[in-house]
Structure 1
Amino acid sequence: MASSAANDGAKPARPKGLKLLRIALRQRKSATMLGFGFSSGLPYALLIGTLNAWLGEEKIDLATIGVLSWIGLSYSFKFLWSPLVDRMPLPGLDRLGRRKSWILLCQMVLVLGFGGLAATNPATAIGTFALFAFFAAFASATQDVAVDAWRIEVADEATPVELLSSIYQFGYRIASIVGGALALVMAGRMSWPLVYLSMAGLIVAIMLVVTLRAPDTPRAEQGALHAALAQPGELAPSARWAALAVVGVSWAWAIGTIGHFMVGMLAPADPASPHPSVSDFTRSYGPWIVVATVVVPLVVAALTNWLKAHGRAVLTAPDARVSPLRTAANHLYVALVSPLAELSGRLRWGVLIVIGMILTYTLCYNIWSSFAFPFYLEHLKYTKDEVAFASKLFGIFMTILGISLGGYLFTALGRMPTILIGAILPILGNFVYADLAEGARHIDAVGNATGLNALFALFGFDARMVRLLLAISFENVSTGIAGAAFVAYMSGIVSKSYTAVQYALLSSLTFLIGSLGRGIAGEAFDTYGYATVFRWTAAAGLVAVVMVLLEWVRVARAERK
């Protein structure tokens, strides 16, 4: 009887693959989620990866490509304007639905952005080209905010959020193949502008077929928002606004500084006033940007905890006052201050180790990831079809294998050993790529010794293609394990009280150092060559290993208490 009851109460296994797709197409909400997942994944693939293949073909220098890759910071900073997406009704579009209206607006901007890219020649107007790319990336990141909220709100017993999340990932993966492999194959047979116009047409089709017909949820009442902040013991509004102002000004300065440099770097060249140096900017401003976006918010968070613990500047009675301005400020406070305040209050000094690990864990492969297509296409001289197959088809399967291995290692070895393995393997992957850049002598030796060269030859691959497949295999399996380990780690470190906001904030920090480093990496590739920079980025990964070991010690001590 007990066994039967347990079996009755057990959750059914989550469907995968084609079975998941069939379920998605059977229900309106899940079918919509599939379309939204595709709509989120397509612009990311086109803007963060495939766009650099186009720029490389146009002989844009790698330093400029590195700076242009900073448009990816839109995805890192999207939590900053998420309160606006959450609360602001869009004139003329709001009648479509609170989430649909924003999704539709973002999709329209994406279509215009891709159209602008198609109409601009990056070789002669890189500044205008970058502007269109930035608007498209901003619209894509904003669409992600609305889609994430839609997924959580429309979930019910028939379509639980876990199923919708799986369907979202399925659509996202399909889009990464379309925006990566298919786009490269198309570019081998037509012009790049026509490729991006075709991708804009896909987004228009999603707008007409999916977005306009999607269900939506009613808008929440203004007065019910963040009622907990009005309870006795919470910070008084004046103290919250002061904390928010300090953090907000810090973030605004960081974003403004990065934006100003990007504008100067991508402006037309003037012999009398050459472009600024990316490495000089990163050395001079990079540490201060980290201080403004990480250290200052942490200090403010610790100060708010101290004030509450000592009963300073706190409410002594419930505060029932409600206004649109206060509601907006509460949203920003919960997005920018509360997540780190909770984390620092819970972990105390250990929060420094956690933040240090989050900032550095993906460093050694995030820095150079934007240069993969120029490396394959321009430096190694592979064809677009070869790179499309190796990187975006074969490579995706290797990533899935790595994610699966990461899940197995978690079960077999535990959390911290798997996280440590995930920090070490990408370092070795960078050495593999350094070898590939120098002729792949060691890759050939491993392929011959293991019989992999002979195995791949049975499928018609020559030695040159086998080198690329083996390098991508090791890299994608390594980063798959690392990614699975890191997502699981961050999911475990966040508070259930701030799950969505805290995870969004912490995950954004994972891209911060890597995104800043891409600019200097591009200049370094031009100056020192790929192999040397791959070894440098491998050395940078050692910082993550040290931080993981420190976190392992912290966790072990916390478990003994």
Structure 2
Amino acid sequence: MLDRMNDSSIRAYLTPRLGIMLPLGFASGLPLALTGATLQAWLTEAGMDLTTIGLFAYVGLPYTLKFLWAPVMDRIVPPWLGRRRGWMLVTQTGLALALALMALVGPSSGAQVFAALALGVAFLSASQDIVYDAYRTDVLKPEERGLGAATWVMGYRIAMIASGSLALILASRMGWSVAYLCMAGLMALGVVTILLSPEPEEAQVAPKSMAEAVWGPLTEFLSRPMALALLGLIVLYKLGDAFAGALTTSFLLRGMQFSSEDIGVVRAFGIGATILGAFIGGALLPRMGLFRALFLFGVLQALSNLSFLWLAWVGKSYPVMAFAIGVENLTGGMGTAAFVALVMSLCNHRYTATQFALLSSVEALGRVFLGWPAAKLVGLAGWGPFFFVTFLAALPGLWLLWYLRKPVADHAEMNVGRSEIEAPC
């Protein structure tokens, strides 16, 4: 049986649908760190105070609010490359230009000006995610979603090596502006991938009007049993990870006194752990089922936060830092593969862009709004208690997942053919 599953997995990776997930995942993942952890390192080395750095987390607001303009990308079809790939080309090109501008200006222009530029990059990145997520959900068959999510995560995390580890190393040797210009150049390479990407096998019908594009996705989703509880699960499932990640880079730089190059080198190892975790999660998901995979991987994600608590206790230690980053990324990759499969299972293909954007925006709430509270908690209690609180923050999501185990399993089974459901008028 295992041999048959392995043969099936190998054949799946030979299809254009699965193969294209790697470079598209790379293009999707590159901008995030450049307005997150890597930007945090730039601001730290520029001498900004911790509270200001925490407030810079709010430039990620577009990731939370992207559902507001997602209906436009569902309804309007560009005059080139179709409904999905046309928007992919627009956002990809815009990001390359915006990152170049951010590199040329730098934080020396002042916190407000630089934050506005970072916000623009985040807006374009969020817009790119809207259409990338919709395209991935539309083009992959339901049985390919575990492996497709794993392949996407591989490309995404390779991009994190580039925008995280490589950018930090480049910055330490050549300066931050050069590092960001190099990242802008890498974004431009994604245009070739977009031109070669296949169209979905099944034709997807766009909403007939903007009113339908706005209200249809909400009406359809909220008509399902336990819809609000499912939204709560999306918020809480990765809350512990988001809380810990809000200041992890500053913890390693300022709290533990590691250099940016130290962190960049070790994070390259951590990215490999994420890729491994994603493929473990993608391979186990069809055998375990969506609920059991989400629960097991969620428990492991919560426990991984305690490894940073250990590092805070023992002090500056390269082996413990490598262990903490490795464990966090391994379990995070497993959880992400299952979480992406969950979100895809909740989408109606008629409204993929808006529904996926809504769900991923809800998930991003923790990542955006926890920066300032995290900074205040560290100031009051210290790094060790902070990471213990991040572990506790993961527990409500696990409880809610257990409570929703039947609806989660039902959505995974019922998703086949959901694109054929008639849109509400």
Assess same fold via TM > 0.5: yes
In the superposition, relative to structure 1, how do residues 122 and 368 fare at CA in structure 2: closer, same or farther (>3 Å)? farther
C-alpha distance in structure 2 between counterparts of 1:148 and 1:554, whole Å: 23
Residue pairs, 1:144-293, within 5 angstroms: 144-149=129-134, 168-207=152-191, 209-210=192-193, 213-214=195-196, 225-226=206-207
Residue type of the partner of 1:539? L
Q: How far is the alpha carbon of 1:543 from its aligned partner?
A: 1.9
Which residue pairs with 2:230 in the alignment?
354
CA deviation string 1:158-178 (max 9, x = no partner): xx9999877655543332221
Aligned ranges 1:55-454 → 2 under 5 Å: 55-88=43-76, 94=79, 99=84, 101-122=86-107, 125-149=110-134, 168-207=152-191, 209-210=192-193, 213-214=195-196, 225-226=206-207, 327-335=209-217, 337-343=218-224, 347=225, 350-391=226-267, 393-406=268-281, 415-439=290-314
Contact between 1:339 and 1:501, CA under 8 Å: does it hold in 2?
Answer: no
Question: CA 1:109/1:505 → structure 2, altered by over 3 Å: closer, same or farther?
Answer: same
The DSSP-based 3-state class of the residue aligned with 1:399 is helix
Query: Partners in 2 of 1:378 and 1:143 — Cα distance?
Result: 33
Quote the residue 1:260 is aligned against.
Answer: none
| Contact map agreement 1:107 1:203 (CA 8 A) in 2 | yes
Counterpart-to-counterpart distance in 2, 1:117 and 1:523: 28
- Identical pairs, percent: 32
Greater RCO, CA 8 A, separation 6+ = 2
Alpha-carbon distance, 1:421 to partner: 3.2
Range 193-202 or range 545-554, more displaced: 545-554
Q: Which residue does 1:445 correspond to in 2?
A: none
Instruction: Flag the structure with larger Rg.
Output: 1
Change (3 A) 1:329 1:435: same
Superposition CA RMSD, Å: 4.0
Residues 332 and 418 (structure 1), Cα distance of their counterparts in 2 relative to 1, 3 Å cut: same
Compare 402-411 and 425-434 and name the one that shifted more.
402-411
Corresponding residue for residue 3 of structure 1? none
The separation in 2 between residues aligned to 1:491 and 1:98, in whole angstroms, is 18
What residue number does 2:360 align with? 507
> Residue 37 of structure 1 contacts residue 171 of structure 1 at CA under 8 Å; is this kept in 2?
yes
Give 1:143 shift. Answer: 2.0
Letter in 2 for 1:477: L
TM superposition shift of 1:367: 1.7
- Rounded Cα–Cα distance in structure 2 between residues aligned with 1:206 and 1:413: 34
**Alpha-carbon shift at residue 77 of structure 1 (Å):** 2.9
Q: 1:433 to 1:169 in 2, by over 3 A?
A: closer
After TM superposition, the score normalised by the length of structure 2 is: 0.79
Q: 1:420 to 1:108 in 2, by over 3 A?
A: closer
Q: Which amino acid aligns with 2:373?
A: I
The number of equivalent residue pairs is 404
Structure 2 letter corresponding to 1:201: G
Q: Name which of 493, 498, 519 aligns with 2:372.
A: 519
Unaligned runs of 5+ in 2: 412-425
Which residues of structure 1 form unaligned runs of 5+? 1-6, 228-326, 441-462
Equivalent position of 1:312 in the other structure: none
Where 2:177 maps in the other structure, the secondary structure is: helix
Matched, 1:539 2:420: no
Shift of 1:58: 1.6
1:479 matches 2:332? yes
Instruction: String of CA shifts for 1:506-541, please: whole Å, max 9, x gaps.
Output: 333222234222232133334433222212222222
- Counterpart residue identity of residue 80, structure 1: L
Cα 1:14–1:408, aligned 2, differ >3 Å: closer, same or farther? Answer: closer
- Whether 2:39 is the aligned partner of 1:44: answer no
CA distance in structure 2 between the partners assigned to 1:178 and 1:474 by the alignment:
20
Q: Residue 244 of structure 1 corresponds to which residue in structure 2?
A: none
In structure 2, do the counterparts of structure 1 residues 524 and 123 end up closer, same or farther at CA, with 3 Å as the change threshold?
farther
